[in-house]
Amino acid sequence: AGPLLEIDDLTLKLQVGGAELTALEHVSFSLGYGEARGLVGESGSGKSLTLRAILGLLPPNAVVTSGRMVFDGAEFDLAHGSKADARRLERLRGTGISMIFQEPSVALNPVIPVGEQIVDAVMRRDHLRRSQARDYAIHLMKLVGIHDAEHKVDAYEFELSGGLKQRVMIAAAVAGKPKLILCDEPTTALDVTVQRQILSLFTHLRDELDAGLLYVTHDLAVVAQLCDSITVLYSGNVMESSAELGSVFDDPGHPYTEALLRSTPDVDRIGRRLYSIPGSAPSLSDRPLGCPFAPRCEYRQDDCEQARVPDTSTVEGREVHCRHPVGHESGRVQLAKEAR
Ligand code: ATP
Ligand code: MG
pLDDT (tens digit, 9 = 90+) per residue, 208-248?
Answer: 777 899 999 988 988 998 899 999 999 999 999 999 999 89
Verify whether ligand 1 is closer than 6 Å to residue 46 (CB atom). yes
Verify whether ligand 1 is closer than 6 Å to residue 323 (CB atom). no
Q: 5-96+178-339 belongs to which homologous superfamily? A: P-loop containing nucleotide triphosphate hydrolases (3.40.50.300)
In this prediction the pTM is 0.89
Kindly report, residue by residue over 259-317, the tens digit of the pLDDT: 999 888 765 455 556 778 888 888 898 888 889 999 999 899 988 988 777 655 556 67
pLDDT attached to residue 286: 86
Kindly report, residue by residue over 89-146, the tens digit of the pLDDT: 888 887 799 888 877 667 788 999 999 999 988 888 778 899 999 999 999 898 888 9
Cα(53)–Cα(251) distance, rounded to whole angstroms?
31
Q: What is the DSSP pairing of strand 74-77 with strand 180-184?
A: unpaired
pLDDT attached to residue 10: 97
Q: Give the ranges where 110-191 is alpha helix by DSSP (H).
A: 114-125, 130-143, 149-152, 162-175
Residue whose CA lies nearest to ligand 1 atom number 17: 44
Residue whose CA lies nearest to ligand 1 atom number 18: 44
Cα(164)–Cα(146) distance, rounded to whole angstroms?
7
Cα(255)–Cα(294) distance, rounded to whole angstroms?
9
| Ligand lying nearest the CA atom of residue 49 | 1
pLDDT attached to residue 314: 57
